[in-house]
Amino acid sequence: MTQLQNRMLDALPFWMTLVNVPLAVIGTIWGGLWTLMLPAYGVMLVPVLDRLTGLNEDNADPETDEADLFWYRAITLIWVPVQFVLLFWIIGYVSLNRHLGWAELLVLLYGVGIMTGASGIVYAHELMHQRNRLERWLGDVLLAMVLYSHFRSEHLLVHHQHVATPRDAVTARYNESFLRYFPRVLRHCPPSAWRAEAALLKRRGAGTFDRRNPFWRYGALQLGMLIMAVVVGGWYGLALFLAQSLIAIWMLELTNYVEHYGLTRKYLGRGKFEYVKPHHSWNAAHRVSNWLLINLQRHSDHHYKPDRRYPLLQTYTEDEAPQLPYGYPLMTAMAMVPPLWRRVMNPKVRHWRRTYYPEITDWAPYKAGRHDETP
């Protein structure tokens, strides 16, 4: 077997997102119970496969040459046109035929939202962290397909700077339910992203409405997607597009909720916090969900090296960073049941506090009512 073939085979598991395509097509055309296949793939089958295949704690050489990562990068590039064509084909087909009942339609849209959120936004996250201009643009296209373009600015300029502090809206507070977290994030993140871009332009000597402000690009791309939905499906198609966008955003923020729940960087005084460390992110080494989510669950290393490509992200041991009991698909489902979530995660947060910050006896100042507070 040639070296090229070996590289292709090594990267192949990360291409499992493409399985969504036939499942979406079958569910759209045939309806009925076939619509269950798309959401069941990510929500039910992947956790089962995680259980059967166990953990993957192997680490690639972080110095691997960029040329050796071609087949890993290729899926993130290919997925952009694939998702675009598939999404608007579904909208057009359903709008034209009106053959699905309300229950079938809701299940199908739920599956499509999982696909554009748990796959599309995760790929956008990988792309927008790269230095290559084309990849960043493709990331913007994916985010525009779910009307969440500001996520790029918020994530790069705010989240990575203030993660695990009260200044970061998407760091879930200890004991905060997702049903309280979600509207808080929707309320705070868009203006936070705008302020961050305005501050960046000011440092460059430009005004807020300078053409370099990416919000012009965000607005144009999102408007283009809305027009496309109307063109292929009329007002009914627009409603379908908006519905899948909401579900995709829901899925993204469920993931954000899990990634740093209850974790806090130590406050040093004078508005400063300690540097981000591996123990400020929850990690999961579950094999198949990491294939599906292109190693997003190796989250500590992502915060350590934000522009490190996903196949090179390193996993951490229990002694180095906190570990989740299950992969993200099952943990996000658990987050939708607050009593169950607290029963599983709150003891882990308390153990984390005793392990890393035994000197802190009063955690009350770290509970923020507003995202911009400091203890």
Residue 347: what pLDDT? 97
> What whole-number distance in Å separates Cα of residue 128 and Cα of residue 339?
35
Confidence label for 167 from pLDDT (cuts 50, 70 and 90) = very high
Indicate whether 342 pLDDT > 90.
Answer: yes
Confidence label for 366 from pLDDT (cuts 50, 70 and 90) = confident
Average pLDDT over residues 332-351: 97
> What whole-number distance in Å separates Cα of residue 137 and Cα of residue 133?
6
> What whole-number distance in Å separates Cα of residue 5 and Cα of residue 207?
51
Cβ distance 90 to 22 under 8 Å? no
Residue 367: what pLDDT? 66
Residue 369: what pLDDT? 40
> What whole-number distance in Å separates Cα of residue 120 and Cα of residue 112?
10
**In angstroms, what CA-CA distances link 146 with 25, 235, 267?**
19, 17, 36
Residue 90: what pLDDT? 98
Confidence label for 373 from pLDDT (cuts 50, 70 and 90) = very low
**In angstroms, what CA-CA distances link 31 with 45, 108, 237?**
20, 8, 17
Three-state DSSP class for residue 273:
strand
Cβ distance 290 to 283 under 8 Å? no
Indicate whether 123 pLDDT > 70.
Answer: yes
Indicate whether 344 pLDDT > 70.
Answer: yes
Residue 324: what pLDDT? 98
Residue 375: what pLDDT? 42
Give the number of other CB atoms < 10 A from CB of residue 78: 14
Average pLDDT over residues 269-279: 91
Count CA atoms closer than 13 A to 15's CA, side-chain side: 15
Confidence label for 1 from pLDDT (cuts 50, 70 and 90) = low
Name the maximum alpha-carbon separation found in the chain: 64
Confidence label for 3 from pLDDT (cuts 50, 70 and 90) = confident
Confidence label for 231 from pLDDT (cuts 50, 70 and 90) = very high
Give the pLDDT confidence of 242-256 residue by residue, as tens digits.
999 999 999 999 999
CA torsion, ordered 173, 179, 185, 186, to nearest 10 deg: -170
Residues 6+ apart with CB under 8 A from 181: 172, 173, 253, 257
Cβ distance 238 to 329 under 8 Å? no
Closest CA to 311 of 12, 78, 82, 52: 12
> Helices (DSSP H) in 46-101: which residue ranges?
46-53, 70-97
Average pLDDT over residues 132-151: 97
Structure tokens at 47: 């956790």
Cβ distance 146 to 155 under 8 Å? no
Indicate whether 370 pLDDT > 70.
Answer: no
Cβ distance 17 to 75 under 8 Å? yes
Give the pLDDT confidence of 277-329 residue by residue, as tens digits.
999 999 999 999 999 999 999 999 999 999 999 999 999 999 999 999 999 99
Indicate whether 272 pLDDT > 60.
Answer: yes
Residue 371: what pLDDT? 36
Closest CA to 289 of 71, 61, 16: 16
Q: State pTM to two decimals.
A: 0.95
Give the pLDDT confidence of 173-215 residue by residue, as tens digits.
999 999 999 999 999 999 999 999 999 999 999 999 999 999 9
Cβ distance 126 to 76 under 8 Å? yes
Task: Give the residue extent of every domain in the chain.
Answer: 3-366
Strand-pair category, 272-273 with 267-269 = antiparallel
Residue 60's identity, in one-letter code, is: A
Count CA atoms closer than 13 A to 196's CA, side-chain side: 23
> What whole-number distance in Å separates Cα of residue 169 and Cα of residue 243?
24
Q: CA 328, 333, 335: angle at the middle one, nearest 5?
A: 90
Indicate whether 374 pLDDT > 60.
Answer: no
DSSP 149: T
Confidence label for 372 from pLDDT (cuts 50, 70 and 90) = very low
Phi, psi (deg, nearest 5) at residue 55: -95, 150
